[in-house]
A and B are shown apart, each in its own frame.
Chain A
Amino acid sequence: MALKMVKGSIDRMFDKNLQDLVRGIRNHKEDEAKYISQCIDEIKQELKQDNIAVKANAVCKLTYLQMLGYDISWAAFNIIEVMSASKFTFKRIGYLAASQCFHEGTDVIMLTTNQIRKDLSSPNQYDTGVALTGLSCFVTPDLARDLANDIMTLMSHTKPYIRKKAVLIMYKVFLKYPESLRPAFPRLKEKLEDPDPGVQSAAVNVICELARRNPKNYLSLAPLFFKLMTSSTNNWVLIKIIKLFGALTPLEPRLGKKLIEPLTNLIHSTSAMSLLYECVNTVIAVLISLSSGMPNHSASIQLCVQKLRILIEDSDQNLKYLGLLAMSKILKTHPKSVQSHKDLILQCLDDKDESIRLRALDLLYGMVSKKNLMEIVKKLMIHVDKAEGTTYRDELLTKIIDICSQSNYQYITNFEWYISILVELTRLEGTRHGHLIAAQMLDVAIRVKAIRKFAVSQMAMLLDNAHLIASNTQRNGICEVLYAAAWICGEFSEHLQEPNQTLEAMLRPKVTTLPGHIQAVYVQNMVKLYASILQQKEEAGEKESSQEITQLMIDRLPQFVQSADLEVQERASCILQLIKYIQKLQAKEVPVAEEVIALFAGELNPVAPKAQKKVPVPEGLDLDTWINEPPSDSESEDEKPKTIFHDEEQRHSRQRQPEMDEEELARRREVRKQEQANNPFYIKSSPSPQKRYQDTPGVEHIPVVQIDLSVPLKVPGMPMSDQYVKLEEERRHKQRLEKDKKKKKQKKEKKGKHHRHNSLHTESDEDIAPAQHVDIITEEMPENALPSDEDDKDPNDPYKALDIDLDKPLADSEKLPVQKHRNTENLKSPDTEAPLVEKKSKKPKKKEKKHKEREREKEKKKDKERKVDEEEKKGEDLDFWLSPAPPPVSTTQTQSEPEVSTAIAEPEDHEEPKKEDREEEEDDEGKKSSKHKKKKHKKEKEEKSKDKKKSKKKHHHSEEEPVESVQNGTLDDEPLPPMSSYHLLAENPYIKMTYDIQGNLQNDSQVTVSVIFENKSTSFVKSMELNVLDSLNAKMIRPEGSSVHDGIPVPFQLPPGISNEAQFVFTLQSIVMAQKLKGTLSFIVKNDEGSTHEKLDFKLHFSCASYLITTPCYSDAFAKLLESGDLHMNSIKVDGISISFQHLLAKICFHHHFSVVERVDSCASMYSRSIQGHHVCLLVKKGENSVSVDGKCNESTLLSNLLDEMKETLSMC
Chain B
Amino acid sequence: MIKAILIFNNHGKPRLSKFYQRYSEDIQQQIIRETFHLVSKRDENVCNFLEGGLLIGGSDNKLIYRHYATLYFVFCVDSSESELGILDLIQVFVETLDKCFENVCELDLIFHVDKAGLAGAPARAVSAVKNMNLPEIPRNINIGDISIKVPNLPSFK
Interface residues of A (CB under 8 A from B): 18-19, 22-23, 26, 60, 63-64, 66-71, 88-89, 92-93, 96, 99-100, 103-104, 123-126, 132-133, 136-137, 158-159, 164-165, 168-169, 171-172, 197-198, 201-202, 205-206, 208-209, 212, 234, 236-237, 239-240, 243, 273-274, 277-278, 317-318, 320-322, 352-356, 358, 389, 1004, 1117, 1120-1121, 1124, 1173, 1175
Contacts and interface: CB of A to CB of B under 8 A. Distances in A.
Contacts of A132: 125
24 contacts: A18-B111, A67-B14, A69-B25, A88-B143, A89-B144, A126-B143, A133-B121, A136-B124, A168-B126, A168-B128, A172-B126, A201-B128, A206-B126, A234-B131, A236-B130, A236-B131, A274-B85, A274-B88, A318-B48, A321-B47, A352-B43, A355-B51, A389-B41, A1117-B156
Interface in B63-81: 80
Contacts of A63: 113-114, 117
B82 interface: yes
Interface in B111-129: 111, 113-114, 117-118, 121, 124-128
A381 B144 CA distance: 60
8 tightest A-B CB contacts, nearest first: A274-B84, A317-B47, A236-B130, A353-B46, A69-B29, A198-B131, A321-B47, A103-B22
B89 to A, nearest CB: 9
A165 B128 contact: yes
A63 B148 CA distance: 23
Given A133-B121, A201-B130, A236 B84 contact: no
Nearest to B148: A88
A172 B84 CA distance: 25
B113 A137 contact: no
A1004 B152 CA distance: 10
B145 interface: yes
A354 B144 contact: no
Interface of B: 1, 14, 16-18, 20, 22, 24-26, 28-29, 41-43, 45-51, 80, 82-85, 87-88, 110-111, 113-114, 117-118, 121, 124-128, 130-131, 143-145, 148-154, 156-157
Contacts of A352: 43, 46
Given A124-B148, A133-B121, A206-B126, A317 B46 contact: yes
Contact of A1121 (B47, B125, B156): B156
B128 A69 contact: no
Contact of B82 (A159, A198, A274, A321): A274
B131 A197 contact: yes
B128 A159 contact: no
Nearest to A158: B153
Q: Which applies to chain B's interface (DSSP): helix, strand, loop or mixed? A: mixed
Contact of A60 (B1, B114, B153): B114
A42 B126 CA distance: 36
B143 to A, nearest CB: 6
A540 B107 CA distance: 86
B118 A96 contact: yes
Contacts of A126: 143, 148-149
B88 to A, nearest CB: 7
A932 to B, nearest CB: 31
A234 B132 CA distance: 12
Nearest to A18: B114
A389 to B, nearest CB: 8
Contacts of B18: 100
Nearest to B149: A126
A243 B80 contact: yes
A132 to B, nearest CB: 8
B86 to A, nearest CB: 9
B125 A136 contact: yes
A18 B148 contact: no
Q: Which applies to chain A's interface (DSSP): helix, strand, loop or mixed? A: helix
B84 A322 contact: yes
Given A89-B145, A165-B125, A1124 B131 contact: no
Contact of A168 (B24, B125, B148, B153): B125
A69 B28 contact: yes
Given A133-B124, A318-B48, A205 B130 contact: yes
Nearest to A170: B126
A1124 B148 contact: no
Nearest to A200: B131
Contact of B125 (A68, A100, A169): A169
A164 B49 contact: no
A237 B25 contact: no
B49 A321 contact: yes
A721 to B, nearest CB: 29
B43 A1120 contact: no
A975 B25 CA distance: 60
A100 B50 CA distance: 26
Contacts of B124: 99, 133, 136-137
A38 to B, nearest CB: 19
B70 to A, nearest CB: 15
A236 B84 CA distance: 11
Given A88-B144, A164-B128, A206-B126, A1173 B121 contact: no
A67 B113 contact: yes
Contacts of A234: 130-131
Question: Which among A69, A165, A172, A389 has the greatest number of chain B C-beta atoms within 10 A?
Answer: A69
Contacts of A158: 153
Contacts of B88: 274
Contacts of A137: 20, 124
A632 to B, nearest CB: 40
A1005 to B, nearest CB: 13
A240 B126 CA distance: 13
A133 B46 CA distance: 35
Given A66-B25, A209-B80, A1117-B156, A123 B151 contact: yes
B127 A205 contact: yes
A834 to B, nearest CB: 14
Contacts of B121: 133
A1205 to B, nearest CB: 24
Contact of A68 (B14, B42, B143): B14
A99 B48 CA distance: 29
Contacts of A355: 46-47, 49-51
Nearest to B88: A274
Nearest to B83: A322
A69 B26 contact: yes
B125 A133 contact: yes
B20 to A, nearest CB: 7
A124 B151 contact: yes
Contacts of A1175: 154
B57 to A, nearest CB: 12
Given A205-B127, A209-B126, A318-B87, A92 B46 contact: no
Contacts of B84: 273-274, 277, 318, 322
A66 B47 CA distance: 32
Contacts of A317: 45-48
A447 B150 CA distance: 78
A563 B62 CA distance: 46
Given A71-B25, A355-B50, A1120-B156, A96 B125 contact: no
Contact of A1124 (B25, B47, B50, B157): B157
Contact of A67 (B1, B16, B153): B16
Nearest to A1116: B156
A171 B1 CA distance: 11
A691 B149 CA distance: 87
Contacts of B153: 158, 1173
A277 B43 CA distance: 25
Contact of A353 (B24, B47, B149): B47
A1169 B82 CA distance: 39
Contacts of A321: 47, 49
Contacts of B128: 164-165, 168, 198, 201-202, 205
B109 to A, nearest CB: 10
A67 B45 CA distance: 30
Contacts of A356: 46-47
Given A89-B144, A159-B151, A205-B130, A22 B111 contact: yes
